[in-house]
Structure 1
Amino acid sequence: MAVELLAPSVDIGLVTTNLDPMVEFYENFLGLPFQLDLDFPGGGRAQGVIRAPLFFGRQPNSAPRSPMAIDLLAKNIEVGLVTTNLDAMVEFYENFLGLPYTGDLDFPGGTMKRYALGDNVLKLITLDQPPAAPATPGGGPAAAGIRYYTVVVASTTKAAEQVKAAGYEIAQELAEFAPVPGMGWMFVADPDGNWVELVGPL
C-alpha cells in the first residue's frame, strides 16, 4: 500500500559549508525566490524556497526575479537518481511511495524511468557504463551536496508505520518539528541509501 502524499511537490536538501556563494548562485543566478530562514534541530539552518505553505503560513514568493538571473522556461524541477539497483528502486518509488510512472526515455549511454510528483519529475537512471562510485549513504551528516529531498505526506505517524512494515531503513525516527507544532518529520533511506524526508501532520 502506497504512502499517501499530501502535496504534489518536492523540496531538495542541499548541504553546504559555503553559504554565501551558494545563495549567489541559486538566488541571483538561477533566480529562485528566497522565502525564509528556518533553524532546525542539530544546529542547522534551511534557507530558500519552502514548498509547504500549509505548515509555514507562507504563500509562494511573488517578488520579481533578479534581473541578472538566467531565463528559466519551466517552473518545475527534475531530480535524477543514478542507480545500479533498478528493480528495488522501482519497488520503493513506484509501489511504496506511489509515484505515477510516466514512461521510459532512452538517451546516449543509458535509460531513465520517469515518475511524476505534481509538476516535478523524479528520474531513475541506469547507465550502460556503471558509475565508478556508489551512492554515498548517510544524508546530510555524511557529505555536502544534494543529500536528500522532501515529500509532504498526509500523516507522518501512518507513514512511519508503513515504512516499518515494508522493512525500509529509518534513517531518523519520527519526531515533532519544534518550530511548527503538530508537524512531524522523519528520514527514510531508499534501497541505494539516498535519504527521503517525509514531513506532514502527525
Structure 2
Amino acid sequence: MSLTTYAQSNFTSKVIGVGVVVADLDRSLDFYVNGIGMVKTGSFTINEDFGKRSGLTNGTATNVTILKLENSPEATDWKLMSFGSKPSHPKPKHIQDDTGMQYITIQVKALKPIIDRLTQLKVPFLGSTPTPLNAKAHFVFVQDPDGNFIELIGPLD
C-alpha cells in the first residue's frame, strides 16, 4: 500500500477544522462574518477539566464559536476562541515574518461584494491588491484583526 493510498483512506472526514485563538472575539466575528461573509454554525465550551486533561489549555475554560464558508458538513470549521489576552509577539507584516500557519486561501464566486464589505469595515488591503492573476481571477490579500493573512481569489464581479 502506498502512503498516498493510506492517507486517503485513513480519515473519517475530508475536512480539517482550524482553531484560531483571537484577542477580541467580537472584533474577529465582525471581520469574518460581516467582512469575509462566513456564517456561524455552532459553538461549544472547553471546560477547565477537559482543557487540562486534553492538554488544550492549562485548565483555562473557553467558549469556541464555529464559523464556516457555508453551513454544510463538507465546509471547513473555522473555530474562534479567545482567552482575553493580547498576543505575545508582534503582528506580522508579511508571511515570512513567523512560522506556522500563516495564511488561508478562500476561493470566491465574486470579489466585489467582499471588497465592498471589507472597505466598509476599514480593513486595509495588502500590496497592490486586488491584482489580476489571470483573465478570470483576481487576488486580494488582507489580515484579520490578529494578523492572520487571508487570500481571496476569484473574479471581480
Aligned to 1:185: 139
Give 5+ residue unaligned stretches, structure 2: 52-59
Counterpart of 1:116, as a letter, is K
Counterpart of 1:190, as a letter, is D
CA–CA distance in 1 between the matches of 2:17 and 2:91? 20
Contact 1:135/1:192 (8 A) holds in 2: no
CA–CA distance in 2 between the matches of 1:87 and 1:134? 21
TM-score by length of 1: 0.58
Could you tell me the percent identity over the aligned residues?
24
Contact 1:77/1:121 (8 A) holds in 2: yes
CA–CA distance in 2 between the matches of 1:154 and 1:69? 28
Correspondent of 1:175 among 131, 137, 151: 131
TM-score by length of 2: 0.73
Q: Are residues 70 and 133 of structure 1, via their aligned partners in 2, closer, same or farther at CA, if it must alter by over 3 Å?
A: farther
CA–CA distance in 2 between the matches of 1:69 and 1:99? 28
Map 1:109-124 → 2, pairs under 5 A:
109=60, 110-118=62-70, 119-124=75-80
Runs (4+) off by over 4 Å: none
Aligned to 2:39: 100
CA–CA distance in 2 between the matches of 1:157 and 1:101? 22
Query: 1:77, CA displacement in angstroms?
Result: 1.4
Q: Are residues 66 and 105 of structure 1, via their aligned partners in 2, closer, same or farther at CA, if it must alter by over 3 Å?
A: same
CA root-mean-square deviation: 2.5
Aligned to 1:67: 6
Query: 1:162, CA displacement in angstroms?
Result: 3.3
Correspondent of 2:109 among 154, 159, 177: 154
Counterpart of 1:194, as a letter, is N
Contact 1:99/1:116 (8 A) holds in 2: yes
2:148 corresponds to 1:194: yes
SS of alignment partner, residue 126 of structure 2: strand
More strand by percentage: 1
CA–CA distance in 1 between the matches of 2:15 and 2:88? 29
Equivalent residue pairs, number: 136
Query: 1:174, CA displacement in angstroms?
Result: 0.9
Aligned to 1:55: none
Contact 2:43/2:66 (8 A) holds in 1: yes
Q: What are the superposed Cα offsets for residues 57-99 of structure 1, whole Å, 9 maximum, x if unpaired?
A: xxxxxxxx33377821111111111012111101111222221
Give 5+ residue unaligned stretches, structure 1: 1-27, 29-64
